[in-house]
Amino acid sequence: MIKYILKRLVYIIPILIGVNLLTFALFFVVNSPDEIARLHLGNKRVTQEQIYAWNEERGYNNPLFYNNSEKGLDAIQKTIFYEKSLKLFLFDFGVSDSGRDIKYDIQQRMWPSLAIALPSLIVGVLINITFALFFVFFRSTYVDYFGVIICVALMSISSLFYIIGGQYLISKLLHLVPISGYAHGYDAVKFLILPVIISVIYGIGSGTRWYRSLFLEEIEKDYVKTAKSKGLSESSVLFNHVFKNALIPILTGIVVILPLLFLGSLIVESFFGIPGLGSYTIDAIQSQDFAIVRAMVFLGTILYIVGLILTDISYTLVDPRVRLK
Amino acid sequence: MFVFLLTDLFFYIIILTLLSYILYVRKTPDLLETWSYVFKNKTGALSVLVLSFFMIIALSDSIHFKNKVYDENNKKYTYTSEISSLLDIILLPIHENSEKSYSSPFSSKLYSKETVKIDKDIDKRVYPKLKYKGNHNLYSEKNIQNIFITIIISFVKTLFICFIMYLIIFYKTLFKNFKKITTYFLRNKFIYLSFFIILLIFISLYDLSIQYYVLGTDKVGEDVLYKSIKSIRTGILIGTLTTIVMLPFAIFLGIFAGYIGGFVDDIIQYIYTTLNSIPSVLLIASAILMLQVYMANNPIDFENVYERADLRLFFLCMILGLTSWTGLCRLLRGESMKLREIEYVQASQTFGLSKVSIIIRHIIPNIMHIVIITVVLDFSALVLAEAVLSYVNIGVDPTTYSWGNMINAARLEMSREPIVWWSLFAAFLFMFILVLFANLFSDAVRDAFDPRANKNYE
Amino acid sequence: MFNYHKYIIIACIIFLKGCSDKPLNNPYSDNLNNLKNVYYSSFQERPKHLDPARSYSSNEYAFIAQIYEPLYQYHYLKKPYELIPLTAAEMPEIIYLDDKFNETTLNKKIYYTKYIIKIKQGVLYQDHPAFYKKDNEYFYHNLNDDQLKNIDTLKDFKYESTRELTSDDYIYQIKRLADYKNHSPISGVMSEYIFGFDDFKNKINKKSELNYKKRIKFIQSTNIQGIEKINKYKFSIIIKNQYPQFIYWLAMPFFSPMPWEADSFYMQENLIKKNITLNWFPVGTGPFRLIENNPNLRMVLDYNKNFRGEVYPSLNDKIIDKKLISSNSVKAVPFIDKAIFSLEKEQIPRWNKFLQGYYDSSGIASDNYDQAVSLSNSGDIKLTEELKAKGIHLNTATAASTYYIGFNMLDPVVGGKESKARYLRQAITLAIDYDEYISIFANGRGIVAQSPIPPGIFGYQDGKKSYNKTIYKKVDNSLVKKNIVKAKDLLKKAGYVNGLDQKTGKPLVLYFEATGSGADTYAFLNWLRKQFKKIDIQLVTRVTDYNRFQEKMINGTGQIFQWGWNADYPDPENFLFLLYSKNGKVKYGGENASNYSNYEFDKLFLRMKNMKNTKKRKELIENMLTIIQNDSPWVWGFHPKSFSLSHSWLENVESNLMANNTLKYKKINNNIRHDKISKWNKPDFTLLHILFIIFLIFIFSVLLTIRKKEKEKAYD
């Protein structure tokens, strides 16, 4: 088991290097440091001299891969690639182009993201499973048929509509919760209600359908038929057998996305003014702060891979039959 | 003079592929059987109908002409760099004129008051009348009456068109076997009725929007209905072009990885895991920025707005394709790994068939159902993604008609007092209809193709 | 079955009891009533720099102008704008010098001008850890890990102290402007004016290898030739030649005092790691101090208890404007104890929160013009009935700024001095209907420009006597734009008929460079194409990001573009220099983005530049405007009117677009605020009730069916 995890961890490294090279190429091919400098220095009265100074301060005036003017190790270390890309491996995210320490900001902004994502996930999963069980109970009837159609309809609505509509109805017309904003600690609750509700509703369509198909697959299996033939009631078959056995794919499905919850949701966060990592990324894209984007790409990659490993582990924990090689 | 934009060409390719696939299906009994299952399903048939209407609109919007202008000096016509599509020409009465600014649906006046000189010195603030529509009722002075009559006339028109089509289709057996045809109609009444209703909606919308702004006008007085219809092409292109771009990658890499295995498998797996682990929004954002650099450095290549916008659309599809092929690739890899072990493949290997011919003969036909299901499923997700990307300003060109751009612009309209809701509404409505039927279609396709699907439940 | 009933009834009671009339949508965690004297507002974009040497945008000024105090300020009420002393004791004494630095008089050739500046005594800085001394040593200037243990923000430092403002602090700040490490945007401009500034810049730039402590020492000990400390409260600045506008610079935050202690404190590496820098935590003498800086969420200003006290309205102010004085008692500013600015990036929430009363004013900065809140659908500047009923006030002022469409004069088609291109430019100028633009895109909030100079600035053409004769004509005493026929005539003269080039027979295609970020971009570009279409010109719009746009401007590869200028100070020189050839963007990297150059114009500009606002100056300006109006390097766009809305409980609101430090005058009437907010935000539970009932019915029917089904099964 431990050997397997170690092996997976080693496997991460080439992937991270690949991601690193790719993002490096994208960001430094796209915008030359001069352009980034100009963007950040503002548009009034900017001189070449200031651009030079700005680049020097951030180490953007170094060559990309190899520094001819330096000797020894410095020839590699005093390059943009080393400073900006390789250092990510040490979780040294450096300073954003606007001058703030990225690591510090990420640590600060992680929690609001989690505060939305976690409740949305839990409430969402509970509601989706309830609906799915409900539909499965009434399978092959009109309840199920229309339920699926409603799910499809819910899936077909743009997420932007849920957000704009929800804000308009709940906050503007009914005055039930603040339109946007955030506060730390327990005060956060009233700001989180609406975004969580919206995230949950947005997920109902696809979630319910997904769980429904899981349950239906399980119901087809022989042991369920046996249980039924024994004369167990429908609901007890559903809960005691189908639901229990479907828990494995449900749990593993959740485990994959757990680490990614930290990254937050791009659109919801920026609409509701929640200072999480999602809005951090959006801001960085819009202000072309590549230092932050690079850091977020790196972080996202790591979390994604961690999710994959966790899934593998959870398989073995839930189902002892699965052996990892 | 015809003009072929890059996306036009690709769209033609898509349509041709579709048509040849249909022909292929008609010749292959197995496939015909599965597909007929899609059509037996009511929602499936309905969604095919609606989607083909959308496709026809997108196709007619993909046939472009250059506009011409008369050169008095040389006494001849010269082509300008302005482009219109077949759809533009069909819809000319709807969009050729535009008002000054906002007006609400079916309104006869602008949405905001203006100062109008009544006498020499007296100014009055009134809602100015619309110049082109809303004040030219064809049939009756009263709006509701007029709308009603217009719809009735459209109804008659639709009946007439349907009758003509009926004549064309059944001209051979028309008088010989009347009873057979009737039973045929009765058996398929649902689909024919749906066709009739959809056609009726189109025709009455057309008739109405000659007289009214059915969905109001936008900030610069353009008809919102026209904008929404023009956006169909963008939505469909993003949904289909992306898959066309990604399919070759996904299919060939997936099969190679799964069938050949070993070192090739490792490399391919490495590539898609790496690509997959980058958040796709970030990948798209940087690619769009890169495109802008290219366009800024080569301004000569992009003579007009359309080509620029078109190239950006094309690139967006490419990059969306690049980020979305990995999922399908992984599925195909797994499936071909399974197929490799199946007896008849093993058998053909021992008979000494080359790898290429095994892939073509045995592997590809057996993974097609996965490809079709994925393609159809991805379509709606991509249409929805376009809106979100435009919202973050990394979507299509701002001059392209798209629902995402409409929603983006509507952000300002929602904070007006009183609010301007119709642009947002129109964009969401059209998007909803397209995505809804695409989803229903994908459901039907999955039920038909997925061997595990529980056919007895539907 | 009975059990269900019981629980459901209990749930209902709890549910219904939870419904009260108290506002639930208060977007602040603090209870509004507890914070009586708090001003609530929003900011759209997080400020990037709060260092006065670097900050150069209005969203940053909104904060730092309340904290840092330059020598002079704009009078809050007087129009035209007038400077008055802030920390200076009086207006500066100006002495003209000849080439040997001897005093001379105005009628002789002037080589240098000396400003002698006296500052007020007894002005104290806000309390700050950088000033705290223990045993005559600065306690926090050599922070070790132990001291930093529990420190996350500036508030966490236990000890604070203050000290008196001296002339050294102003001198230190001017030196900071020269230090390239501070990236001051005006260091280039100042080298042109301040005597010895360039030398100092070279000296300090050579010392990049010094550590920060030695650097501060070096800055303190090295002098700028033109700046002299006379005593603790007095210093002088010598500038080259004559530059009467220099005084305006002294009123900008760039010339705020900076204690060296602050630099020494904030430069410590371990503080920078915690994002505690001068860029984020200002140290000033002003009426407010920044106590919370979370640019991801909110910024909080608290009043500075060391503030010396400024009286408003003073006797003088009462004479100027009587209506302003709501409470007659003379009081010291600031009137509010605290100001909370929340980050609000999205338009919809911002506007709605203002309508709900949670922001005291809507605060539209002229910078964010194109994203400004739409007031009403009337093209008029009046408020809609609904807003009026809420007691919302509207404050208008024409901003000292101009938006224009520029032609790149280096372009072979639209640029150049030949009459062909000039006619083309004039035709386009005629074709673009800015009246329509203002009514569509700005809801009437703007004035069509005759020239670069906006109203309120000396030399503005008001359209009565002086106007743009290229575009307008007088008919019955009112200004009428020449019509499209005239534009087509001009186009014919330029060699284009029906939009076709007479020589080649090819259609004329022009290119517009746009930066596509706003939600309005599409509508604007569409509109613009329509305008060009009027004279049969095809316009291709090229949308890129801001970087690319800048690059095109710098390389001169753009053709037509839209840009704007916000005045640094209210003087025509600050607008006309946008067309001075030595400011050409491509050649000199200046602000003349259309790279216009005209010998006559340049000559007049140099003469006009250093003059006082006399009749002679007016004449010169008039001549200059005639030249540029004929050459039409710009489509004279419009001057936006800045609108801001404020609620009835916010008092002392005056629109003053030059003054940034106006927060100190604002006053809140909390009783009205509390009443109105409670009235406007009564929660409406109807929908919830309906949903709840539906939910109950649903649960009941489900339970019933399940039972029934189970029973049937059992009988089977």
To which residue do tokens 């045995």 refer? B362
- A153 to chain B: which residues are within 8 Å by CB? 436
Q: Which residues are paired to C238 by β-bridges? A: C114
Hey, is A323 helix, strand or coil?
Answer: coil
Give the other-Cβ count within 10 Å of B219's Cβ: 23
Helix (H) / strand (E) element for C116: namely: strand C112-118
The pLDDT of residue C28: 81
Taking only residues 172 to 211 of chain B, the set having a beta carbon closer than 8 angstroms to any beta carbon of chain C reads none
Taking only residues 200 to 229 of chain A, the set having a beta carbon closer than 8 angstroms to any beta carbon of chain C reads none
The pLDDT of residue C366: 34
**Under 8 Å between Cβ of C357 and C627:** no
B436 touches chain A (CB under 8 A): yes
**Under 8 Å between Cβ of C668 and C37:** yes
- What token pair was written down for C64? 């730092």
Determine, yes or no, domain membership for B390: yes
Q: Which CATH number goes with the domain that contains B280?
A: 1.10.3720.10
A-C contacts (CB, under 8 Å): 155
- C516 to chain B: which residues are within 8 Å by CB? 393, 397-398
Residue A139 is nearest to which of B278, B392, B457, comparing CB atoms? B457
Residue A30 is nearest to which of B278, B293, B456, comparing CB atoms? B293
Give the other-Cβ count within 10 Å of B210's Cβ: 15
**Under 8 Å between Cβ of C374 and C443:** yes
The ipTM estimated for the assembled molecules is 0.80
Burial class (CB in 10 A: 0-12, 13-18, 19+), A229: exposed
A22 touches chain B (CB under 8 A): yes
Contact A267 B391 (CB under 8 A): yes
Total residues found in chain C within this entry: 716
- What token pair was written down for C547? 């970087």
- C189 to chain A: which residues are within 8 Å by CB? 45
A143 touches chain B (CB under 8 A): no
Q: From CA C578, how far away is CA A5, in angstroms rounded?
A: 65
- Domain carrying residue B334: 232-449
Tell me phi and psi for residue C475, to 5 degrees.
-130, 120
Determine, yes or no, domain membership for B307: yes
Bridge-based pairing state of the strands C509-515 and C538-544: parallel
Taking only residues 383 to 422 of chain C, the set having a beta carbon closer than 8 angstroms to any beta carbon of chain B reads 384, 386-387
User: Where residue C92 falls among pLDDT bands split at 50, 70, 90?
Assistant: very high
Nearest residue on chain C to A280, alpha-carbon basis: C296
Instruction: Output b/e per residue, B81-105; b: 16+ Cβ within 10 A.
Output: bbbbbebbeebeebbeebbbbbbbb
Contact A45 C185 (CB under 8 A): yes
CATH number of C49-277: 3.90.76.10
Contact C48 A104 (CB under 8 A): no
Give the other-Cβ count within 10 Å of C255's Cβ: 24
User: Which architecture does CATH list for C401-642?
Assistant: Roll (3.10)
Instruction: Output b/e per residue, A182-201; b: 16+ Cβ within 10 A.
Output: bbeeeebebbbbbbbbbbbe
Determine, yes or no, domain membership for B96: no
DSSP string across B260-313: I-HHHHHHHHHHHHHHHHS-HHHHHHHHHHHHHHHHHH-GGG--SHHHHHHHHH
Q: From CA C670, how far away is CA C649, in angstroms rounded?
A: 7
Neighbours of chain B (3+ CB pairs under 8 A): A, C
**Pick from B65-79, B205-219, C95-109, C334-348: least confident:** B65-79
Contact C441 B219 (CB under 8 A): yes
How far are the Cα atoms of C283, C482, C613 from residue C28, in angstroms, in the given order? Answer: 27, 54, 49
Nearest residue on chain B to C374, alpha-carbon basis: B416
- A216 to chain B: which residues are within 8 Å by CB? 454, 457
B110 CA: distance to closest CA in chain C (Å):
10
pLDDT of C71 above 90: yes
The residue type found at C611 is: M
Determine, yes or no, domain membership for B315: yes
Neighbours of chain C (3+ CB pairs under 8 A): A, B
The pLDDT of residue B53: 92
- C352 to chain B: which residues are within 8 Å by CB? 415
Instruction: Output b/e per residue, A130-149; b: 16+ Cβ within 10 A.
Output: ebbbbbbbbbeeeebbebbe
pLDDT of C167 above 90: yes
The pLDDT of residue B455: 46
Q: From CA B142, how far away is CA B31, in angstroms rounded?
A: 55
**Pick from B237-241, B290-294, B379-383: least confident:** B290-294
- Nearby residues of A264 by Cβ (< 8 Å), 6 or more positions away: A109, A112, A113, A114, A116, A117, A274, A276, A277, A278, A279, A280, A281
Determine, yes or no, domain membership for B26: no
Taking only residues 164 to 203 of chain A, the set having a beta carbon closer than 8 angstroms to any beta carbon of chain B reads 164, 168
B-C contacts (CB, under 8 Å): 140
The pLDDT of residue C378: 38
**Domain map of chain C by residue range?**
4-19+685-715, 49-277, 401-642
Total residues found in chain B within this entry: 458
Say whether the peptide bond before residue A14 is cis (omega within 30 degrees of 0).
Answer: no
Bridge-based pairing state of the strands C472-475 and C288-294: unpaired
Residue B112 is nearest to which of C348, C378, C540, comparing CB atoms? C378
Contact A149 B287 (CB under 8 A): no
C555 CA: distance to closest CA in chain A (Å):
13
- Nearby residues of C539 by Cβ (< 8 Å), 6 or more positions away: C509, C510, C511, C512, C528, C529, C532, C533, C560
Q: Which of B42, B231, B275, B277 to mutate to test the interface with A (most CBs of A within 10 A)?
A: B277
Total residues found in chain A within this entry: 325
**Under 8 Å between Cβ of A259 and A306:** yes
Q: From CA C598, how far away is CA C591, in angstroms rounded?
A: 16
A49 touches chain C (CB under 8 A): yes
Determine, yes or no, domain membership for B170: no
pLDDT in tens, B48-95: 999 999 999 999 999 998 877 776 666 777 777 778 899 998 998 888
Taking only residues 149 to 168 of chain A, the set having a beta carbon closer than 8 angstroms to any beta carbon of chain C reads 164, 167
Tell me phi and psi for residue B264, to 5 degrees.
-60, -45
pLDDT in tens, C415-456: 888 888 899 999 999 899 888 888 777 766 788 888 899 888
Tell me phi and psi for residue C137, to 5 degrees.
-115, 140
Residue A152 is nearest to which of B281, B287, B443, comparing CB atoms? B443
Cα four-point dihedral sign B280, B284, B290, B293: negative
- B73 to chain C: which residues are within 8 Å by CB? 497, 500, 502, 505
pLDDT of C238 above 90: yes
To which residue do tokens 């170690």 refer? A6
Instruction: Output b/e per residue, C231-250; b: 16+ Cβ within 10 A.
Output: eebbbbbbbbebbebbbbbb
Expressed in angstroms, the distance from the first to the final Cα of chain C is 24
Q: From CA C434, how far away is CA C448, in angstroms rounded?
A: 6
Contact A140 B456 (CB under 8 A): yes
User: Where residue B245 falls among pLDDT bands split at 50, 70, 90?
Assistant: confident
Determine, yes or no, domain membership for B406: yes
**Under 8 Å between Cβ of B412 and C519:** yes
The pLDDT of residue B158: 92
- C687 to chain A: which residues are within 8 Å by CB? 169, 174
Q: Which of A83-87, A290-294, B192-196, C166-170 has the highest mean pLDDT?
A: C166-170
C209 CA: distance to closest CA in chain A (Å):
12
- What token pair was written down for C224? 């700028």
B389 CA: distance to closest CA in chain A (Å):
10
Return the beta strands (E) in C144-210 as ranges.
Answer: none
The pLDDT of residue C117: 94
B311 CA: distance to closest CA in chain C (Å):
12
Burial class (CB in 10 A: 0-12, 13-18, 19+), A120: buried
Nearest residue on chain C to A191, alpha-carbon basis: C27
Residue A153 is nearest to which of B287, B436, B452, comparing CB atoms? B436
The residue type found at C536 is: D
C19 touches chain A (CB under 8 A): no
- Nearby residues of B262 by Cβ (< 8 Å), 6 or more positions away: none
**Under 8 Å between Cβ of B24 and B258:** no
The pLDDT profile of chain A, 325 residues, written as one tens digit per residue, is 677 778 777 877 888 888 888 877 777 766 667 766 766 666 555 667 777 777 777 777 776 666 666 666 666 666 777 777 777 777 777 777 777 788 888 888 888 999 999 999 999 999 999 899 888 888 778 888 888 888 888 888 888 889 888 888 888 888 888 888 888 877 788 889 899 999 999 989 888 988 888 888 888 777 777 877 777 777 777 777 788 888 878 887 888 788 778 777 888 888 888 888 888 888 887 777 778 888 888 888 888 888 888 887 777 776 665 554 4
- Nearby residues of C560 by Cβ (< 8 Å), 6 or more positions away: C405, C406, C407, C408, C414, C510, C511, C512, C513, C539
Contact B112 C516 (CB under 8 A): no
Nearest residue on chain B to C345, alpha-carbon basis: B411
Contact A152 B281 (CB under 8 A): no
Scanning C480-555, the segments in alpha helix (DSSP H) are: 484-493, 521-533, 546-555
C313 CA: distance to closest CA in chain A (Å):
35
- Nearby residues of C221 by Cβ (< 8 Å), 6 or more positions away: none
The DSSP secondary-structure symbol of B128 reads P
**Under 8 Å between Cβ of A273 and C342:** yes
**Under 8 Å between Cβ of C461 and C467:** yes
**Pick from B111-120, C477-486, C536-545: least confident:** B111-120
pLDDT in tens, C545-556: 776 777 788 888
pTM: 0.81
- B302 to chain C: which residues are within 8 Å by CB? 542
- A288 to chain C: which residues are within 8 Å by CB? 545, 547
Hey, is C636 helix, strand or coil?
Answer: strand
B218 touches chain C (CB under 8 A): yes
B390 touches chain C (CB under 8 A): no
- A173 to chain C: which residues are within 8 Å by CB? 684
Give the other-Cβ count within 10 Å of A240's Cβ: 13
Hey, is C646 helix, strand or coil?
Answer: strand
Domain count for chain B, please give it: 1
Burial class (CB in 10 A: 0-12, 13-18, 19+), C28: middle
Q: Which residues are paired to A265 by β-bridges? A: none
The pLDDT of residue B20: 92
How far are the Cα atoms of A54, A106, A263, C586 from residue A16, in angstroms, in the given order? Answer: 29, 19, 18, 43
Residue B277 is nearest to which of A155, A157, A305, comparing CB atoms? A305
pLDDT in tens, B318-339: 888 888 888 888 888 888 888 8
Residue C544 is nearest to which of B222, B296, B408, comparing CB atoms? B296
The pLDDT of residue B115: 66
The residue type found at B345 is: V
Determine, yes or no, domain membership for B173: no
